[in-house]
């Protein structure tokens, strides 16, 4: 081992031991520990110099450096013990070790997180891959490649929060994504069929909040692409999902709806799990509860990413996680999820 490195170890040994002897308080002890034994302390810096040594010297250098580290750790632990004993004797207070410990509140998942995890697990068990995507999105992914070009009337369906709407530079504008559907395009551009993915994540819209609307919310997007995918596959998959989340006896109903990136589009409702379809306050006396929107992926969307719509087909669906949670738990105001009221959140601890 080089004399220079050996001298560094000796100097560090003398300095650290002398400095430790001067520590008389818990604060000074902690400062000493950070300075010498911390992740960025003097010992750590010394260990980082070892790879720079000659290969024949590294073993001996590493042994001595670690030996110093272990010795200092033992001296530090003994110093802490001695100081604690001194403080205890000075306070002259008796401590009953048989007393029960104080109760510590245990954290739990937010109700929205619980529902997202439950839905993700249901689709994961059906063979879906769970992925994530960016919340700050490009206009081309959020709208254009989803069959919603500039000035299209369908853009009025989404009140957007723009990050940078200037397009004179030739760059696509940026916005907080209004839905998780942009991940459909990103997935199709970077993967080959068969595709079966679920995308949970936050979405943002510029709108006033009330009992049923929030400007930020969780949405869960699903996408399936392969050869010979039909609407029957869509119905079977979503009916199975509804039964796993709301109960095995649930029935599903599909009615026509419009979304620019699917054709045909549909809304899916289930028979009310509170009244079994007889009519109650939860379902508005209709016996049915709408839970999500879905449809077959539009051929223009497939063409836009280089897929042959005569060969490949698929379906997509999207749902609000808070809406599912509201239905499951009988919550009547979506604002409760983001009010940070512990009285509300503790109801969902487990």
Active-site residue 213, yes or no? Answer: no
Active-site residue 179, yes or no? Answer: yes
Taken in order 245, 331, 182, 264, the sign of the CA dihedral is positive
Active-site residue 203, yes or no? Answer: no
Those residues whose C-beta lies under 8 Å from the C-beta of residue 253, and which sit 6 or more positions away, are 268, 269, 270, 271, 288
- Active-site choice (158, 224, 250, 266): 158
Residues 145/304, Cβ–Cβ less than 8 Å: yes
What the block records as the tokens of 246 is 């709301």
Query: How many angstroms separate the CA atoms of 45 and 36, rounded?
Result: 9
Active-site residue 151, yes or no? Answer: no
Query: How many angstroms separate the CA atoms of 265 and 157, rounded?
Result: 15
Helices (H), the chain: 3-21, 26-37, 42-48, 55-91, 111-124, 139-142, 182-190, 231-246, 299-304, 321-329, 342-345
Residues 236/252, Cβ–Cβ less than 8 Å: no
- Active-site choice (205, 250, 298, 323): 205
- Active-site choice (219, 242, 252, 323): 219
Give the orientation angle of helix 26-37 with respect to helix 3-21, to 10 degrees: 170
Active-site residue 219, yes or no? Answer: yes
Phi, psi of 84, deg, nearest 5: -65, -40
- Active-site choice (262, 297, 301, 321): 262
Those residues whose C-beta lies under 8 Å from the C-beta of residue 136, and which sit 6 or more positions away, are 163, 174, 175, 176, 177
- Active-site choice (116, 199, 242, 316): 316
Query: How many angstroms separate the CA atoms of 190 and 38, rounded?
Result: 43
Active-site residues: which are they?
158, 179, 205, 219, 262, 316
């Amino acid at each position: 081992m080089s004399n220079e490195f050996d001298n560094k170890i000796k100097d560090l040994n003398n300095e650290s031991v002398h400095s430790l002897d001067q520590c008389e308080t818990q604060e000074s002890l902690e400062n000493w520990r950070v300075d010498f034994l911390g992740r960025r302390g003097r010992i750590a810096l010394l260990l980082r110099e070892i790879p720079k040594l000659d290969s024949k010297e590294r073993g001996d250098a590493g042994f001595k450096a670690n030996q110093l580290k272990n010795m200092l750790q033992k001296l530090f632990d003994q110093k802490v013990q001695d100081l604690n004993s001194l403080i205890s004797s000075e306070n002259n207070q008796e401590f009953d070790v048989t007393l029960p410990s104080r109760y510590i509140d245990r954290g739990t998942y937010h109700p929205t997180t619980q529902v997202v995890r439950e839905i993700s697990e249901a689709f994961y068990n059906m063979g879906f891959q769970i992925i994530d995507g960016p919340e700050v999105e490009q206009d081309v992914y959020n709208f254009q490649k989803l069959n919603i070009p500039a000035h299209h009337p369908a853009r009025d369906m989404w009140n957007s929060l723009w990050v940078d709407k200037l397009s004179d530079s030739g760059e696509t504008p940026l916005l907080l994504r209004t839905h998780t559907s942009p991940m459909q395009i990103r997935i199709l551009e970077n993967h080959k069929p068969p595709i079966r993915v679920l995308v949970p994540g936050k979405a943002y819209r510029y709108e006033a909040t009330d009992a049923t609307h929030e400007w930020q919310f969780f949405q869960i997007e699903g996408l399936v692409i392969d050869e010979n995918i039909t609407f029957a596959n869509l119905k079977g998959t979503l009916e199975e999902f509804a039964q796993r989340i709301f109960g095995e006896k649930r029935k599903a109903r599909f009615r026509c709806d419009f979304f620019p990136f699917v054709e045909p589009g549909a809304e899916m409702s289930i028979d009310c799990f509170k009244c079994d379809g007889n009519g109650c306050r939860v379902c508005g006396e209709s016996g049915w509860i709408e839970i999500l929107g879905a449809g077959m992926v539009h051929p223009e969307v497939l063409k836009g990413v280089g897929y042959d719509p005569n060969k490949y087909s698929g379906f997509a669906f999207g749902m609000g996680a808070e809406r599912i949670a509201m239905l499951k738990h009988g919550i009547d105001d979506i604002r409760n999820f983001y009010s940070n009221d512990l009285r509300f959140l503790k109801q969902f601890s487990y």
